[in-house]
């Protein structure tokens, strides 16, 4: 009996730890969403599951956010902030006349001299773009979005695990995944996410439907 108790004790402890982490995730109000569409590749892939947290402050440049649009919800990246002059020329982002690095962006136009976006933002407006520029319906098509349109912040992808890239040093260390991905751990290693994720479209230029 003592041997059995010694064997069962670690398993029981693991169950308690997992239960505690589930409670922590729920208290943090993380909502699981299932990605559909190509417009945020390579950051987010179709079929990936992401954890979305509430908006507690104004979004930063580079954050990936969940937007409410008239036709659907979609995920995009914030590249322009209130009051800024934002241009996208030859696939390169400029803010107030200065270039902004976008290590996450792919699918830029091959032609030169193409001005895809040129806008001065109001006090409550943002410019949002998809990372896969050739497959995204974003502010180039529907213009700036309002701050109130941002209804969530994408915190991390939990399956397959992946860091959501922002063009700035991270506030917390990134831990390497054995398969090459890197995982952000908002509550601690191996934080479980509630099942039953709903599907979220990314806004894809090719399909014009949630994709």
Angle 144-139-149 from CA coordinates, rounded to 5°: 50
- Residue 42, in any domain of the structure: yes
**16 pLDDT above the threshold of 70:** no
Q: What are phi and psi of 152, to 5 degrees?
A: -170, 160
Q: What's the pLDDT at 173?
A: 40
**12 pLDDT above the threshold of 70:** no
Query: At CB < 8 A and 24+ separation, what contacts does 148-151 make?
Result: 148/124, 149/67, 149/68, 149/69, 150/55, 150/59, 150/65, 150/66, 150/67, 150/78, 150/126, 151/55, 151/66, 151/67, 151/68, 151/73
Q: What's the pLDDT at 181?
A: 32
- Residue 8, in any domain of the structure: no
- Residue 22, in any domain of the structure: no
Which among 76, 132, 136, 139 is annotated as catalytic?
76
What is the domain count for the chain?
1
Instruction: Reply yes or no on whether 132 is catalytic.
Output: no
Query: Nearest to residue 37, comparing CAs of 71, 76, 10, 4?
Result: 76
Collapsed DSSP state (helix, strand, coil) of residue 10 = helix
Helix (H) or strand (E) holding 96: none
How far is the C-alpha of 126 from the C-alpha of 117, rounded, in Å? 13
pLDDT in tens, 43-73: 999 999 999 999 999 999 999 999 999 989 9
Which among 39, 132, 136, 139 is annotated as catalytic?
39
- Residue 12, in any domain of the structure: no
What domain range includes position 119?
30-201
List alpha helices for the chain, DSSP H. Answer: 2-27, 139-142
Instruction: Reply yes or no on whether 39 is catalytic.
Output: yes
Model's pTM, two decimal places? 0.69
- Residue 194, in any domain of the structure: yes
- Which DSSP category does 176 fall into? E
pLDDT in tens, 81-127: 999 999 999 999 999 999 999 999 998 777 788 899 999 999 999 99
How far is the C-alpha of 77 from the C-alpha of 55, rounded, in Å? 14
CB of 55 closer than 8 Å to CB of 150: yes
Q: What's the pLDDT at 153?
A: 96
Tokens at residue 33, please? 């969403």
**211 pLDDT above the threshold of 50:** no
- Residue 208, in any domain of the structure: no
How far is the C-alpha of 46 from the C-alpha of 161, rounded, in Å? 13
How far is the C-alpha of 131 from the C-alpha of 182, rounded, in Å? 18
Q: Calculate the dihedral angle through the C-alpha atoms of 164, 170, 172, 176, rounding to the nearest 10 degrees.
A: 60
- Residue 157, in any domain of the structure: yes
Query: Looking at residue 195, which CATH number applies to its domain?
Result: 2.10.109.10
pLDDT in tens, 27-46: 668 999 999 999 999 999 99
How big is the chain, counted in residues? 211
- Residue 25, in any domain of the structure: no
pLDDT in tens, 142-172: 999 999 999 999 999 988 877 776 765 434 4
CB of 114 closer than 8 Å to CB of 87: no
């Amino acid at each position: 009996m003592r041997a059995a108790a010694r064997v069962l004790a670690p398993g029981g402890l693991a169950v308690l730890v997992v239960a505690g982490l589930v409670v922590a995730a729920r208290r943090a109000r993380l909502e699981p969403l299932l990605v559909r569409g190509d417009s945020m590749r390579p950051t987010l892939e179709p079929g990936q599951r992401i954890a979305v947290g509430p908006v507690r402050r104004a979004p930063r440049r580079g954050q990936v956010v969940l937007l409410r649009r008239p036709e659907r919800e979609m995920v995009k990246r914030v590249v322009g902030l209130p009051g800024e002059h934002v241009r996208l020329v030859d696939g390169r982002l400029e803010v107030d006349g200065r270039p902004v690095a976008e290590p996450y962006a792919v699918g830029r136009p091959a032609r030169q001299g193409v001005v895809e976006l040129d806008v001065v933002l109001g006090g409550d407006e943002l410019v949002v773009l998809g990372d896969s520029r050739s497959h995204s319906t974003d502010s180039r098509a529907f213009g700036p979005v309002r701050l109130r349109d941002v209804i969530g912040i994408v915190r991390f992808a939990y399956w397959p695990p992946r860091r959501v890239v922002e063009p700035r040093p991270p506030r917390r260390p990134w831990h390497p995944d054995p398969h090459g991905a890197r995982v952000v751990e908002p509550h601690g290693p191996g934080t479980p996410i509630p099942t039953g994720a709903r599907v979220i479209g990314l806004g894809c230029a090719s399909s014009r439907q949630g994709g």
